[in-house]
């Protein structure tokens, strides 16, 4: 076995939700680069999902796309069934799909709040539940939190609350997987240059956030994908943790 195979096991199958863009796309492409077969799960943008699949295949990897609403248990079950029928099963599940709608609490639109809870909380629990039922022995489950649970930026109260639920569930689910040799962790990105994060922010706000980290830049999706690659491959003794990937912002 080569050194690369020891660090990044091949012949594994990864389901990545939210994989049609932003961090999810970077994660899907990185796991494919590591030798994993990837199911590119997307909510609605088939063209972008197909583009990710084409990119992976062009680089010599294996990928398929599958549409699923992460908050719909039947669609998520069908997603896992697709991984099993097309690729033999699922070893890694990375749940990046999320919604971020910002407002001061006194101006919070409760419809926006409900939308975030549906995707960020219910969606996470639906995906985690199906992953806990079906991921193969030796697998890894990675969900997504956010560094704003510590940074407490104004206007982020509702979004932060939804990500706090991810933090709370991570260690519990890790303990519930006892005896399965399956790790359960969460990644908490800091300010990362994605459309989701940059939307609605002025150039001045973006520049200020870039300077907040000691490394004096925003994160990029590949920075986060590197952390996921670690958790999805060699990190067999990291379990029940929330890993903060934010360049040192405190």
Distance separating alpha carbons of residues 113 and 80, to the nearest angstrom: 28
Distance separating alpha carbons of residues 56 and 104, to the nearest angstrom: 40
What is the Cα gyration radius of the chain?
Answer: 17
Which residues are CB-contacts of 74 (< 8 A; sequence separation ≥ 6)?
none
Tokens of 85: 């029928």
Strand spans (E) along the chain: 13-17, 37-42, 63-67, 92-95, 140-144, 183-189, 242-245
Residues 96, 16: contact at Cβ < 8 Å?
yes
Catalytic residue among 42, 156, 159, 244: 159
Angle, nearest 10°, between helix axes 123-134 and 73-87? Answer: 40
Q: Is residue 159 flagged as an active site residue?
A: yes
Nearest CA-CA partner of 96 in 200, 203, 11, 192: 192
Residues 130, 76: contact at Cβ < 8 Å?
yes
3-state DSSP of 142-207: EEECCCHHHHCCCCCHHHHHHHHHHHHHHHHHHHHCCCCCCEEEEEEECCECCHHHHCCCCHHHHH
Residue numbers annotated as active site: 159
């Amino acid at each position: 076995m080569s050194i690369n195979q020891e660090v990044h096991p091949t012949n594994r199958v990864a389901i990545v939700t939210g994989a049609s863009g932003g961090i999810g796309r970077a994660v899907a492409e990185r796991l494919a680069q590591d030798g994993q077969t990837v199911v590119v799960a997307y909510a609605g943008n088939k063209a972008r999902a197909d583009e990710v699949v084409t990119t992976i295949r062009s680089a010599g990897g294996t990928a398929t796309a599958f549409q699923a609403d992460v908050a719909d248990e039947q669609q998520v079950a069908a997603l896992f069934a697709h991984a099993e029928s097309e690729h033999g099963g699922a070893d890694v599940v990375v749940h990046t799909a999320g919604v971020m709608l910002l407002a001061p609490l006194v101006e919070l639109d409760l419809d926006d709040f409900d939308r975030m809870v549906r995707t960020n909380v219910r969606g996470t629990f639906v995906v985690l539940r199906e992953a806990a039922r079906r991921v193969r022995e030796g697998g890894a489950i990675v969900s997504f939190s956010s560094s704003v649970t510590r940074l407490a930026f104004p206007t982020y109260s509702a979004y932060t609350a939804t990500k706090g639920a991810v933090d709370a569930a991570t260690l519990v689910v890790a303990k519930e997987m006892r005896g399965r040799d399956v790790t359960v962790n969460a990644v908490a990105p800091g300010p990362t240059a994605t459309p989701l994060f940059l939307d609605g922010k002025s150039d001045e706000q973006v520049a200020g956030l870039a300077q907040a980290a000691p490394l004096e830049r925003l994160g990029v999706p590949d920075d986060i994908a590197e952390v996921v690659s670690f958790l999805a491959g060699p990190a067999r003794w990291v379990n029940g943790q929330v890993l903060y990937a934010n360049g040192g912002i405190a």
